[in-house]
Amino acid sequence: MLDPTKPVQTRDGRKARIVCTDFRNNNYPMIVLIDAGANEKIEFRPVDGQVHSSRVSDMDIINIPVETILYYQVDTDGQIKSMGKTEPYDAAIENDFWCSPKLLKITFIDDMPSRVELIENKWRCK
């Protein structure tokens, strides 16, 4: 569901911005400006930001996906040491009391896991 209070783009990645959501039009109350190179294109949209109600379009207005990367410490036995708390990279290294040889890197897009990697801990205790 589109949240007009957060940054938006078209489904195909063009920059866009919502000018208003209360335009006096029952079907298209949202005014959107979409990047068209040197200019912006003005579009009127329903509150869901879709071009067509029956199908997905590259020109649909969506919230910009939020990517978050978190890390877990993994010991030499493959046990995850910080399962109760995920941390950004710097915090995972700083709080690595076990001198973990590896880190589990999990990338989330809009709070959904999208990629999992097992990486070397370059800052491992010596």
Written in H, E and C, the secondary structure of the chain is CCCCCCCEEECCCCEEEEEECCCCCCCCCEEEEEEECCEEEEEEECCCCCCCCCCCCCCCEEECCCEEEEEEEECCCCCECCCCCCECHHHHHHCCCCCCCEEEEEEEECCEEEEEEEEECCCCCC
Mean pLDDT of each 10-residue bin along the chain, 126 residues long? 95 97 96 97 96 94 92 80 61 67 87 91 66
- Predicted local distance difference test score (pLDDT) of residue 73: 80
